[in-house]
Structure 1
Amino acid sequence: MGSRNPSIYLWLVEAGSRLGPLKQVHGRILAAGLGSSRSLLTKLAALAAAGPPPGGVAYALSLLPHVPSPDSFLFNSLIRAAGHGGAAAAALGLYRRMRCARLPCSSFTFTAAAKAAAAAASRRPGRQLHAHLVLLGLSADAHAAAAFVSLYGKCGDVAAARRVFDGMPDRSVVAWNAMIAAYEQNGLAAEAVAVFREMVNARRPDAATLVSLLSACGQLGDLATGRWAVGWAAAEGIAGGAASGGAAVTMFARCGCLAEAREVFDRLRRPNVVTWTAMISGYGMHGGGAAAVELFREMAARGPPPNSVTFVAVLSACAHAGLVKQGEEIFLSMARDYGVEPRMEHVVCMVDMLGRVGKLGEAFEFLRRHGGGGVAAMTALAGACKRHRRLDLGAAAATELIAMEPENPAHYVLLSNLYAQAGRMGEVAAVRAAMAGRGLKKTTGYSSVEASGVTHVFLMGDRAHPRAAEIRRFLEGLMGRIRDMGYVPETAEAMHEVEEEEAVESALGLHSEKLAVAFGIMSSGEGEPVRVTKNLRMCGDCHSAIKFISAAVRREIIVRDVHRFHRFQDGSCSCSDFW
């Protein structure tokens, strides 16, 4: 029927994917009596689907019921458009309708549907799609297989992603990137770096590869590989752009190199909101609250509008620097100036901020006014109470945490430390017994330090290292020197770690952070910084001791714990003890 008015095809071509002109052409189709033409409506819907979401996709979907006997081409176009437009449920629904209509599915169908399922992290529909793909004998298709690697990675099933990846006879750059991203997104950063090293022998990486690799290096604190990746990418001509630039900023910040992070940031022509946020967060992690606030104000003046994540970054920076006034002003500006409604993560930052400076009553009141607290808020409150020795409030908060998450050993340890701090050893024993009764154990702490390209890992009291005896002797000497300088062990927290009170000071002296720092000093040249990574929050005694050690050996010592960086130099820490 479309042949009766060939000019309509020309109008469709001229309209392209612009929704307004397409609606005008649709009106002309109806006026010409061609409203049941499958070819015209298919062309119209496909062009609309290719337009910007959500309007184009919604309009294309509204046309589908009016298309007589829609074919696979139209369904494929709509599945792809719905997936790209954030309508994953609609895309998967279209796939099911396509199957019910017994229309033939191609690798294009599965690639588009798998991407939609990945966007929604829908594991069950994803597995059903994959089973159908295998049943039709299309599992060897490179595009579809890469989409399923990405799907399984985003659903947290890394083993399934790896099986699909290993079964691919020919792996494209997209497939390699999907596998690296699957590992990185699921906290398996070392495996991500290992896959990248395989990739460079098979395919030329691209900017997407670089983003995942740098993120993995940031997770690991692998500064050497991260620096190499940035230099290698520049030499290969694949560096640049907001995404890879932002990844480099984050990597350098997470590896303790704030100056290099800022250099990368300043070289970017147009940093996007993610990159601005990464740099603000970097300052916050390193105790640079004032610099974070200054950069936030610069962003507000000349950069993109800050988003919800940006406000978390700057409020957290204020909390860790004791900048209560600035933090309160920024919190009030969220909805008023930027249209960003505060969420629980912003409330947690404010509670943390008030608690750190000892305004515990205000912190509790703030939390009450904003709907009560979840686990994160109560953890911040309990930690602040411990810091300011408010056993009554802290024990109440920690007890509530245990009620919220009875299987989380960290809450029991926090409550135990509060009681130990107050010298109430009977309650400490009761908390230990409660943990034992549930079969819970404190997460094992460890610290790592790199020497001559090799990462050395230490546990508390570690004797497994080949140079363990030498390290202990060196550390004992350091501890003696800092005692002469005025260091006094903080024994309260260690009461949860040992059974006998007289063993506490000995246990503190062999904490993994101290062993790693000692080995780092022994294994590096005079004046070189020592970089240590800790998997948990650094304890108060180690924080105090390393401040003294930095002065005693005249070294910069950088410790990255699970929350932030501590840059020790000349007897002080970059966190200004707001940690």
Structure 2
Amino acid sequence: MQISVGLIRFLSLVRTLRTTAPCRSHIPGTCFHHGSYVLPLNERSITETFSSYVSLIRLCAERKSATGVKKIQLYMIKSGFPHLSLSNKLMDAYLKCEDVENARKLFDEMPHRHIVNWNSMISAYIHNKRSREAVRLFGRMVAEGIRADEFTFSSTLKAFSDLGLLREGRKAHARLVVSGLELSNVFVGSALVDMYAKFGRLSDARLVADRVVDKDVVLMTALIVGYTQHGEDGEALEVFVSMVKEGIKANDFTFASILIACGNLGDLCKGKLIHGLVIKSGFESAVASRTSLLTMYSKYGLVDDALKIFDRFVNANQVSWTAVIMGLAQNGREESALSMLCEMIRHAMVPNAFTLSTVLRACSSLAMLEQGKQIHALAMKIGFDRESFTGAALVDMYGKCGSIERARLIFDDLVELDVVLVNSMIYSFGQSGYGHEAVKLFLGMPDLGIEPNGVTFLNVLYACSNAGLLEEGLQIFSSIGSNPNIETSRDHYACIVDLLGRAGKLVEAEELITQVKSPDVVLWRTLLSACRIHGEVEMARRVANSVLKLEPGDEGTHILLSNIYATTGNWSEVIKMKSTMREMRLRKNPAMSWVEVGKEVHTFMAGDWSHPRSTGIYVMLEELIKKVGDLGYVPDTSFVLQDMDEQEKEKSLYHHSEKLAIAFALLSSSNSTDCVRIFKNLRVCGDCHTWIKFVTKVVEKEIIARDAKRFHHFRNGQCSCGDYW
């Protein structure tokens, strides 16, 4: 409204300069026609008109009204005013209104362009993420013989790094060397350092930084950021120390970057020292520094310290909220992370894709399907459900909650796939026992234009191991050696050892381990687990000794060896192992199962009577045991200690935690057709596995059980694992 009033006043001013007399002179430069009137171009009227146009253009720029600027330009043209005499003002106004198209049209009309015009246009393209057009304009500038200055180069170097044009960036660097700007201009030096750092050419970035004569905080921060972003946090710390020694004062962004480096290094002492320096320099209240502080303390596992820092925020931004949510999720406080997301939304702060992916992975860790569905709905509402980060987290969440069909639907619906998404889908297939589907997706990656990485191979080998695909797994494992970009890791070997061991090829598995340079505990323990499956006691003793040489107090090995003795019926050795574990104060984690009912998680242990509905649970359990017994279920008492009579053994089996969880779930949803989902912290025992298959026949519902290793989808008396787990 103010602009319209200003335009009316301006038109009134123009009318006062009109005369009803016909034009008496046609000498160029003395007058110009406007309708049936003539505006005399004497010195005073030109000055008044010029200044009025300038004032109005400035007003439009302040109000960010590109429409107003366009109306003024059109009026100039219509009235015959030489609008190009104000082209710089008009172009600047368009750019301030972020109207790049009209600014470019005006730029192209200019008969003579100053270097400032070129720089403004190039900078505007980069600011609007149109780096390719910026590079083309720079090329035209060079072709027209316009000499670039430090502002041109600093903008264009950013465009080269955005587009990955290293060769063109090097050419621009060469021009800078010739012009002498490389050493003398810190502005240009900072742009070069930033460009080389983004290309990962950190040695070049460091060389440029060392050559700049008068270094400043921007240049040094660019170098620190480059090192931090490429995992060279120790180098970043060295640069920071040298910067302090040279008397260059750090700013908020410097501290933010170096605190992240300290967190990555896990050096709490240095982190606290820099925290003290942040306080001394007066930057503790700055958003970037404070966010990096809470990230650093979260990485140290000092979540409470991170929360104290977060509580001191007056107006936390999106990045700060995401950082504290991530810190909670990464330190085993998934439920607190979900609560913090609710707080974030209550504070009218919209989560981004990274925030959503973090809380979705928190849901994955706890297998909280209902909460995951709610976050999925939120992602759809704000338009992030098809973003790569969120998409991968959704696939991972549904996969780890046993909803493989939903995971596949999301995966198939995503337009842009990347290696992270494919890895998530392959892992989900593998965890639910769909080995063939995992291998098919892996083999189809070249058609998708996606190159597999080390994680891809690990996930597909895991899928082969879970499904018993020996031949496919061995072929994929051998193909790693032909890929120059991937190094075979111990984790890859562990998958193949597991695959060979489960197939009964224990000798081949042991030989493979001996080929690994310095085999670790995980490899030997994987083979020990295979010995338990096949009852190979002698090899188990030998393998256990190999583990205990590396880690004498490894409780997992003692537990596995105890289980092997139990499987083969050697109960005297079981008693000895348990006695040894007591002497060493080693404790076996108690078996626990849990189920989510009514948005609340209910946890059970073997023989548990602590639940408020325990009486009903045990009544339901007795009914199920009777019905499955009628169908042919016979308790397998080999899975309990043999120093009990047969009735006690059966009673012990009937009260396993997974049976109690299923009984409670069925009691709570007796009229529902939904499948039952339970989770266990250890491997499901063989007797419970058989029992659950019979239960699905009785209740005519699908039961999905996730144990420490994988998912079991029980339907109509069958399991997706094919009794191979």
TM-score class, shorter: over 0.9
Separation of aligned partners in 1, 2:543 and 2:331 = 31
The answer (yes or no) to whether the contact 2:357–2:389 under 8 Å persists in 1 is: yes
The answer (yes or no) to whether the contact 2:193–2:209 under 8 Å persists in 1 is: no
Per mean C-alpha deviation after superposition, the further-off stretch among 372-381 and 236-245 is 372-381
Q: 1:51 deviation in Å?
A: 4.1
SS in 2 for 1:320: helix
Q: C-alpha deviations, 1:21-42, integer Å up to 9, x for none?
A: 56556555655667752xx145
Answering whether residue 249 of structure 2 is matched by residue 104 of structure 1, we say yes
Spell out the pairing of 1:94-493 with structure 2 (5 A cutoff). Answer: 94-202=239-347, 203-336=349-482, 339-371=485-517, 373-493=519-639
Q: Which residue of 1 aligns with 2:721?
A: 575
SS in 1 for 2:712: strand
Structure of larger gyration radius = 2
The 1:172/1:482 distance shift into structure 2, 3 A limit, reads same
The answer (yes or no) to whether the contact 2:197–2:205 under 8 Å persists in 1 is: no
SS in 2 for 1:361: helix
The 1:224/1:438 distance shift into structure 2, 3 A limit, reads same
Per mean C-alpha deviation after superposition, the further-off stretch among 216-225 and 102-111 is 102-111
Q: Which residue of 2 aligns with 1:47?
A: 192
The 1:399/1:475 distance shift into structure 2, 3 A limit, reads farther
Per mean C-alpha deviation after superposition, the further-off stretch among 234-243 and 391-400 is 391-400
The 1:224/1:142 distance shift into structure 2, 3 A limit, reads same
Separation of aligned partners in 2, 1:551 and 1:230 = 33
Q: 1:64 deviation in Å?
A: 2.8
The 1:417/1:104 distance shift into structure 2, 3 A limit, reads same
The answer (yes or no) to whether the contact 2:157–2:191 under 8 Å persists in 1 is: no
Separation of aligned partners in 2, 1:281 and 1:541 = 27
Highest relative contact order (Cα 8 Å, sep 6+), 1 or 2?
A: 1
Separation of aligned partners in 2, 1:114 and 1:121 = 11
Separation of aligned partners in 1, 2:180 and 2:422 = 54
Q: 1:166 deviation in Å?
A: 1.9
Q: C-alpha deviations, 1:256-302, integer Å up to 9, x for none?
A: 11010001000111211011011111111001111111111122332
Q: 1:519 deviation in Å?
A: 0.7
Aligned residue pairs, count: 571
The answer (yes or no) to whether the contact 1:41–1:63 under 8 Å persists in 2 is: no
The answer (yes or no) to whether the contact 2:352–2:384 under 8 Å persists in 1 is: yes
Q: 1:188 deviation in Å?
A: 2.2
Q: Which residue of 2 aligns with 1:12?
A: 153
Q: 1:310 deviation in Å?
A: 0.7
The 1:405/1:259 distance shift into structure 2, 3 A limit, reads same
Please tell me the residue identity of whatever aligns with 1:411: T
The 1:545/1:433 distance shift into structure 2, 3 A limit, reads same
Q: C-alpha deviations, 1:69-124, integer Å up to 9, x for none?
A: 42223222222233224332222111111222232222121112123334444443
SS in 2 for 1:336: coil
Q: 1:477 deviation in Å?
A: 2.3
SS in 1 for 2:381: helix
Identity fraction in percent:
34
Q: Which residue of 2 aligns with 1:504?
A: 649
Q: 1:208 deviation in Å?
A: 1.1
Please tell me the residue identity of whatever aligns with 1:320: N
The answer (yes or no) to whether the contact 2:197–2:226 under 8 Å persists in 1 is: no
Separation of aligned partners in 2, 1:25 and 1:337 = 35
Q: C-alpha deviations, 1:200-257, integer Å up to 9, x for none?
A: 1011111111100111111111111111111122112233211110110000001111
The answer (yes or no) to whether the contact 1:566–1:573 under 8 Å persists in 2 is: yes
The 1:233/1:32 distance shift into structure 2, 3 A limit, reads closer
TM-score (norm 2): 0.75
Q: Which residue of 1 aligns with 2:34?
A: none
Gaps of at least 5 residues in structure 1 are none
The answer (yes or no) to whether the contact 1:449–1:520 under 8 Å persists in 2 is: yes
The answer (yes or no) to whether the contact 1:306–1:338 under 8 Å persists in 2 is: no
The 1:504/1:400 distance shift into structure 2, 3 A limit, reads farther
The answer (yes or no) to whether the contact 2:193–2:206 under 8 Å persists in 1 is: no
Gaps of at least 5 residues in structure 2 are 1-145, 161-165
SS in 1 for 2:596: strand
TM-score (norm 1): 0.92
The 1:7/1:243 distance shift into structure 2, 3 A limit, reads closer
